[in-house]
Structure 1
Amino acid sequence: MVTKDVAIGMIFLSQTVFGTLGNLCLLYLYLLLYFTGCRLRTTDLIVENLLVANSFVILSRGIPHAMISFGWQHVFNVHECKFISYMHRVGRGVSIGSTCLLSVFWAMVISPRNSRFAELKMKIPKYVGLSIFLCWILQMLINVIFPMYVSGKVSKKNITNTKDFQYCSSVLHDQTADWLYAALLSFPDVLSLVLMLWASSSMVLVLYRHKQRMRHIHKTNVSSRSSPESRATKTILLLVSTFVFFYTLACIFQACLSIISKPSLFLMNSTSIVDGCFPAVSPFLLLSYNSTTFRLCFAWISNRKSPND
């Protein structure tokens, strides 16, 4: 086995292990708090959904590439390739939609009371569950055609009408149909990205105005620390910025894969690694956002379990 392949396999394995543990551990904390009776926020439901989608993305992309890098060739049949690719596409789409929903929801929450979203932000918590459900249904329906483009590992005797992607291959169809299908798949992602950028701009504007107002307050009892809302807003802005960075980078690599008829192994590995960066990093960013909530809830649980004085 080539040393370079082992190094790439270790990168995929490390990303998969740490990313999966981060997402599942954070999801376990949420479930633990829920079943012990601690009241969670509306945004926590969105975060839980994001953690599940991230796990789908990491497992469906990291494990196959790690196995290939360590020398396990032809381990997936046609149906397994279709299922893994479908699970990755759905998980990726739901991850994008959840990040968008989280940023839009929080932009509504911190908007001023005299803004045009004053009435809407009172009603939006009621539709979070429905929005998450529709996000899953939409991604499952849009990507149902995707397995038709995926087949098993190509044979060296017949590579004229296929594009090799290591553990699976893609069947080449009519170019016009491919562009139309690519546009269909990209439309929800582009819409989510536009909404995220709008929500992020709104949050930055609110934080800037809040900071300007605080400059005019010179009372000694005003704490220099930011409010919980400001800290949460900054964390979500960091999460969205991280997503936009890795998503833009992944789109560039994906475009190169689409254009090049015979992509190199380095390009395919780089695309997969970049594609898994946000799902692997996001739970650790969210942990800082929810650290105060976890601390307070666990303190409340321990007080409930302690004997009465």
Structure 2
Amino acid sequence: MTSEELTRGLLYLFLTVVGVPGNGTVIWAFLHMVFCEGRLLPADAIVLHLASVNLLVVGVRCLLEMLASFQLANVFDDTGCKAVIFVYRTSRSMSIWLTFILSAYQCVSIAPPGSRWAAARTLAARYLGGVFLGLWVMNCSMSTAAVAFSLGTRNSSALGQHGINVEFCFVRFPSLLSRDANGAVQVARDVVPMALMTGASLVILLFLYRHSQQVRSLRSGAPGRQGSAERRAAKAVVTLVTLYVVFYGVDNGLWVYTLTVPRTLASSLLSDLRIFFSSLYAAVSPIVIITTNRKVSGRLRCGRVEEKPLHSAATTLSTM
């Protein structure tokens, strides 16, 4: 085993060891909540769905890449490459869009009762299953290029002039136009929710700031329990959005660079770095969820949900 293969294997091992137990813990906590209470709040359902697709990202791509790097198992023939890249791209994109949906839902959750945004919150909660289905249909359809153009490394001689090396697989595009069009779609699929999520998070932070100023003036500077809930909510929102922007920003920067350089310069190292940074969000985000979501952390501490009423918008946000 070369030093490059060892480094690659250790990176994927890190993502697997952190991401699989982390997302599995979040999924277990919410499924246990469903078993005990019989239902989930809309925000909790979004987080459960987010942890599930993050588990797919880490388990389908990072775990299999780690096994192949250490030469323990290799499923990357033509069929395996098509399946892995399709599931990885779809679940990765679902992770991005679900993070936006979570931010958007929390944004409308802070609206005062009786407002138009409050009505939108009720409507979103009612049709949340349809939103999930629409996202799956959209992202699956945008990942069909993986099925059409992916092939195993044993067919490297047929890579062609417009192919992309993703280490254990190749993506062979029939023309430069199809490669650039696919690349543009992939970037847009990340940039659009990034802009929307950033806007929703700014609205949340603005509300939290104004509300904290009101609480401080009414309580003579004593933050109390309410101020603590606001700080937890603000920290969770800022942390998730920052992770998203940094990790996927690097990923998309490397992807654009891959599309603009000759194929001979686009080495598998770039592919490894892209997969690492795009999967890092899926591996690290459950840690943020566990540390900021009182329902999940309460399950882990005592195996039961703490019966605490949620009366304020800030407290609703803190359950993220």
Pairwise TM-score range, normalised by the shorter structure: 0.7 to 0.9
**2:123 is aligned with what amino acid?**
K
CA 104–148 in structure 1, closer or farther in 2 if over 3 Å, else same = same
Supply the distance in 2 between the matched residues of 1:110 and 1:226 (Cα, whole angstroms). 15
CA 70–113 in structure 1, closer or farther in 2 if over 3 Å, else same = same
Gap runs ≥5 in structure 2: 308-320
Cα shift at 1:4: 4.0
Cα shift at 1:106: 0.2
CA 103–45 in structure 1, closer or farther in 2 if over 3 Å, else same = same
The match for 2:190 is 189
Answer yes or no: is 1:217 the counterpart of 2:218.
Answer: yes
SS in 1 for 2:100: helix
Supply the distance in 1 between the matched residues of 2:57 and 2:36 (Cα, whole angstroms). 29
Supply the distance in 1 between the matched residues of 2:127 and 2:104 (Cα, whole angstroms). 13
Report if aligned partners of 1:74, 1:153 keep a CA contact under 8 Å in 2. Answer: no
Answer yes or no: is 1:259 the counterpart of 2:249.
Answer: no
Which one has a bigger Cα radius of gyration?
A: 1
The match for 2:129 is 129
Q: Out of 89-98 and 125-134, give the one that drifted further.
A: 125-134
Cα shift at 1:251: 0.5
Write the deviation string for residues 160-215 of structure 1: whole angstroms up to 9, x where unpaired.
Answer: 44333211111132222333333334444332122101101101111111122133
**2:78 is aligned with what amino acid?**
V
Answer yes or no: is 1:272 the counterpart of 2:266.
Answer: no
CA 299–145 in structure 1, closer or farther in 2 if over 3 Å, else same = closer
SS in 2 for 1:76: coil
Cα shift at 1:231: 2.2
Supply the distance in 2 between the matched residues of 1:119 and 1:245 (Cα, whole angstroms). 33
The match for 1:203 is 204
Supply the distance in 1 between the matched residues of 2:52 and 2:124 (Cα, whole angstroms). 22
For 1:237-252, list aligned pairs within 5 A. Answer: 237-252=238-253
Answer yes or no: is 1:285 the counterpart of 2:262.
Answer: no
The match for 2:229 is 228
The match for 2:177 is 176
Q: State the number of aligned residues.
A: 302
Cα shift at 1:18: 1.8
Supply the distance in 2 between the matched residues of 1:256 and 1:230 (Cα, whole angstroms). 38
Cα shift at 1:265: 3.6
CA 21–73 in structure 1, closer or farther in 2 if over 3 Å, else same = closer
Supply the distance in 2 between the matched residues of 1:221 and 1:185 (Cα, whole angstroms). 48
Q: Percent identity?
A: 25
TM-score (norm 2): 0.84
Write the deviation string for residues 283-308 of structure 1: whole angstroms up to 9, x where unpaired.
Answer: 11011222346527944599xxxxxx
Cα shift at 1:155: 4.0
CA 287–166 in structure 1, closer or farther in 2 if over 3 Å, else same = same
**2:200 is aligned with what amino acid?**
A
The match for 1:69 is 69
The match for 1:111 is 111
Report if aligned partners of 1:200, 1:237 keep a CA contact under 8 Å in 2. Answer: yes
TM-score (norm 1): 0.87
The match for 1:305 is none
Gap runs ≥5 in structure 1: 303-309
The match for 2:318 is none
Supply the distance in 2 between the matched residues of 1:2 and 1:245 (Cα, whole angstroms). 30
Write the deviation string for residues 101-126 of structure 1: whole angstroms up to 9, x where unpaired.
Answer: 00000011013458652332333211
Cα shift at 1:147: 1.3
SS in 1 for 2:118: coil
The match for 1:151 is 151
For 1:23-172, list aligned pairs within 5 A. Answer: 23-37=23-37, 39-71=39-71, 75-113=75-113, 117-155=117-155, 157-161=157-161, 162-172=163-173
Supply the distance in 1 between the matched residues of 2:33 and 2:196 (Cα, whole angstroms). 31
CA RMSD, aligned part only?
A: 2.7
Write the deviation string for residues 1-40 of structure 1: whole angstroms up to 9, x where unpaired.
Answer: 2234223312211211220111012101111121122653
Report if aligned partners of 1:68, 1:166 keep a CA contact under 8 Å in 2. Answer: no
SS in 1 for 2:111: coil
Write the deviation string for residues 215-251 of structure 1: whole angstroms up to 9, x where unpaired.
Answer: 3224587616625355234313321221121111110
Supply the distance in 2 between the matched residues of 1:136 and 1:142 (Cα, whole angstroms). 10
